Homo-oligomer: A and B are copies of this chain.
Amino acid sequence: MATCSCEINACVLCEERLYPGLTKEQVCQIRERLIRELYAPHEVLFREGDPAVFLFALRSGQLKLTSSMPDGRQQILRIAVAGQLLGIETFKGQRYPFTAEALTDVVACKISHDDLRQILAGSPAIALRVIETLSQELDQTESLIRDLGLKTAPEKVSSFLLSLIPQRGDPGAELPLRLSRREIAEMLGLTEETVSRVMADFARKKIIGSGKGYIRILDRKWLEETNGVENKASSTERRAQSGHS
């Protein structure tokens, strides 16, 4: 039949335009393999070490992906945003390598590995889309490595703050901050005290304005210089500004 009741499942895997060569029937067959799920903030989609049965296509909202050590130390690997595919690291693996926890209300489509594999085998357009998503995730992850491996605490925080700025939209507007100090610390490899101190310092210097649950970037240029990634022209005297003693 030409219609089915699966529209509610709309996500990165089920937009009709991704299947140019397929009939509506076939598209519906694909869609029926997807299970739409809703999660509230703090809900866990899956835990590190669990058998990896499903993948998740994130339709809306944000997740944090964390890995922890037996003694309780925890690291945020990445913040997943709408459009990304979760758990693809287990494409050939057995267990989820991280815990996925909702930061906001989340809508996600769940699908089994085997089903995804079949869909990919039959639809190059979807496969391309997945490759693009994975590329983006890899890029995002590599950026975090840069931050963790060679930046000082203020540089890390600058980097983090800059990452909050949306590509489109007013950069001077209030930006929602969904992570606690502890979570920011867990992302940047710092302690919450250090994050708090650095952000207080930034606020004192009028680099940012901070309220509860949001921040406002007041001096983006300063952050971009402090975060260290930008222009290589002023490389020589750069290090002077880092600590004020």
A interface residue numbers (CB < 8 A to B):
42, 67, 69-75, 77-78, 88-93, 97-98, 117, 120-125, 127-128, 130-132, 134-139, 141-146, 148-151, 186-189, 228-243, 245
Q: Give which listed residue, B72, B229, B243, contacts A239 with CB less than 8 A.
A: B72
Asked if A138 and B89 sit within 8 Å, CB to CB, the answer is yes
Q: Give which listed residue, B72, B74, B93, B148, contacts A189 with CB less than 8 A.
A: B148
Chain B residues with CB below 8 A from A130, complex form: 131
Asked if A235 and B70 sit within 8 Å, CB to CB, the answer is yes
Asked if B77 and A145 sit within 8 Å, CB to CB, the answer is yes
Task: Please name the residue on chain B nearest to A121 by beta carbon.
Answer: B124
Asked if A145 and B75 sit within 8 Å, CB to CB, the answer is yes
Q: Give which listed residue, B75, B127, B241, contacts A124 with CB less than 8 A.
A: B127
Q: Give which listed residue, B121, B128, B149, B245, contacts A42 with CB less than 8 A.
A: B245
Whole-angstrom CA separation of A130 from B135 in the bound complex: 11
Whole-angstrom CA separation of A150 from B88 in the bound complex: 24
Q: Give which listed residue, B97, B138, B230, contacts A134 with CB less than 8 A.
A: B138
Whole-angstrom CA separation of A130 from B88 in the bound complex: 12
Asked if B127 and A239 sit within 8 Å, CB to CB, the answer is no
Q: Give which listed residue, B78, B125, B134, B143, contacts A131 with CB less than 8 A.
A: B134
With A145-B145, A150-B74: A88-B189 Cβ-Cβ less than 8 Å: no
Asked if B125 and A121 sit within 8 Å, CB to CB, the answer is yes
Asked if A239 and B142 sit within 8 Å, CB to CB, the answer is no
